[in-house]
Each structure stands twice: as C-alpha cells, then as structure tokens.
Structure 1
Amino acid sequence: MKHALLIAPAAAVLLLAACGDQTNPPTEPAAPVTEAPMVNPTAPIQPGEGPESFVGTWAAQEAWCENTSATTDQVPIRISAERFEGYENRCDITAIEQAGDSYDASLSCEAEGMTSQETVNMRVIGDRLTLTWADRGNEAVQLVRCGAGPGQN
C-alpha cells in the first residue's frame, strides 16, 4: 500500500512533464477556442437558401399585400419560424425538416374554433413560395412575397 501512495503522485508529475510547457503566462492569455460551423454536405440549399427563406408576409396576389382588413379573405399570410397566421386561422409549426431545397413542416392549426394537424412542404424560389399540402392531396398554392425588399416583411 505504501508503494501505491508514492506511485500516484509520481505518475501525475510524469504526465504533466510529458505535456511540455504549454501554460501561457498571465500577460499572454490563450486564444479563445472557436468551433467550426456545422456543415451538412448531403443537403445543398440553394433556391430558398435556408429556413429563414419562408419567413415573411406572403399573398396569393401581389395586390392583396396592401389588404390589412380582417373583413376579407384576400389578405396576406404571415409566416414566422414558429407559426402561420392568416385570415381566421393560425397554425403553430410543431416540427420542421429540410427536404432537399425545401422544408416539410408539421402544423397544429386552429380555424374558426376547429383544430387540425396538417403537413405542408414550403419551397422558395426568388420571391415565390410554393406551399404543397400533403394532407390535401398534394394541392399546391403559389404565393408572392409582400414587400420583396429585405427587411420589409
């Protein structure tokens, strides 16, 4: 037992000595540790250029972008990273997954007191958003971005 007590401190000293002198003096602090950004080489994004591509205000027709009255269904919808908000309906995005150059979103919706679960694929090319509703026979709806300039949504 006596030898074991002597071996442990000696082993620690040898391990520290093997590391060499890598301690920075107080006047020369070590450089901050940075992590490389995560890259997914199997998922090249181009048309929408990332999930933020679908965030904004969208309308079926450009003229609808000006409609803010809740008295007509010809109003734009607002999409954030968390929800869809439109005329008399709201959907929370409960899950989202990249699908090539688009995104599949699971939605939990409420409209006129009724709730439903839906799945939609969102694909942005330029200022156009195509929503393809899986639960509606793959019905596709094309929308135009309102206020197409950056930061205008």
Structure 2
Amino acid sequence: MEARHYAWMTLCAALVLTGCEDEQATTPDDETALQDAVAYVGRWAAEPAWCAQGGEERAITLSPSRFEGYENTCKMEASQESEDTWTAQLECSGEGMESSERIRMRLEDHEAMTLTWLDRDDAEVALMRCPLSE
C-alpha cells in the first residue's frame, strides 16, 4: 500500500477521534497529525527562489484549514474530489479587506501542484513544493 494511503487512513482515524472529543480538547499534536496526513500541506512557490524569500514574491503556506499568502490569511475548508484533487472555500482577510473565493488544488506528484482560482476565470498557477529546510 502506498504511503499516502496510510496517511489518508491516519487522517480518517484522526477525524473520527476528533469528533468524539470536546472541541477544546484538540492539542497541537492533533494538528500535526492532520498536517502529516493531508498531501497538499506545506509551503509552495511558483519559483524556486521564492521558497527562501519574504515579501510579495514568496511561498504560500497550506495547512489542513489555512491558506497563508502575501499580506493575507484565509480560513480554508477543503473537500477531496479525487485521490489527488481538492476544492476549497477560502475566507480571507488582509490589508483591512475581506474576501471569499474558491480554489482547486491538484497534485501532479508529491512535489508539484496546479492551483486553480475558480472565481478568477479558472486562472491556473503551477507550484512546486518548497524544501523543508528553507
């Protein structure tokens, strides 16, 4: 069985267990387990140099429930469409403004992703996973 199948089994088990506990009982270890289980979690950039930079040309950070980009942070509710594709609703705030939009994340392998902005005429961005050491 592939490693990502084990990761999904871990995610499912974590979600079942989380539903049985009080919402306030979630620990940082629970969030870490979810991050390890969701394939799109990590830092992603359109250019390799962006992985090490700050400012406007920098990597975005994805967690199971957050999308963090340049000068904005979004709450994210993602649902899986297929083995390698997720759609997500983003509720964002940044620079004193709030917005809501939808994205699709399609992993081409564990190191490449196509991010589609569904409410921006399906504009696509090719992203690469940033190394963990940066």
TM over 0.5: yes
The 2-side partners of 1:152 and 1:57 are apart by: 11
State TM-score, norm by structure 1: 0.59
* Unaligned segments of structure 1, at least 5 residues: 1-36, 39-50
Q: Where in structure 2 are the equivalents of 1:47-66 lying within 5 Å?
A: 52-66=38-52
State TM-score, norm by structure 2: 0.67
- RMSD (Å) for aligned C-alpha atoms: 2.1
The 1-side partners of 2:41 and 2:105 are apart by: 10
Aligned equivalent of 1:98, options 74, 80, 83: 80
State the Cα distance separating 1:111 from its structure 2 match. Answer: 2.2
Deviations 1:106-137 (A, max 9, x none): 11011211111111001112211111111101
Identical pairs, percent: 41
Q: 1:133 aligns to what?
A: 117
* Unaligned segments of structure 2, at least 5 residues: 1-8, 13-36
Contact kept, 8 Å, 2:103 with 2:116, in 1: the verdict is: yes
The structure with the largest strand share of the pair is 2
Structure 1 segments of 4+ aligned residues over 2 angstroms from their partners: none
Q: 2:24 aligns to what?
A: none
SS of aligned partner of 1:63: helix
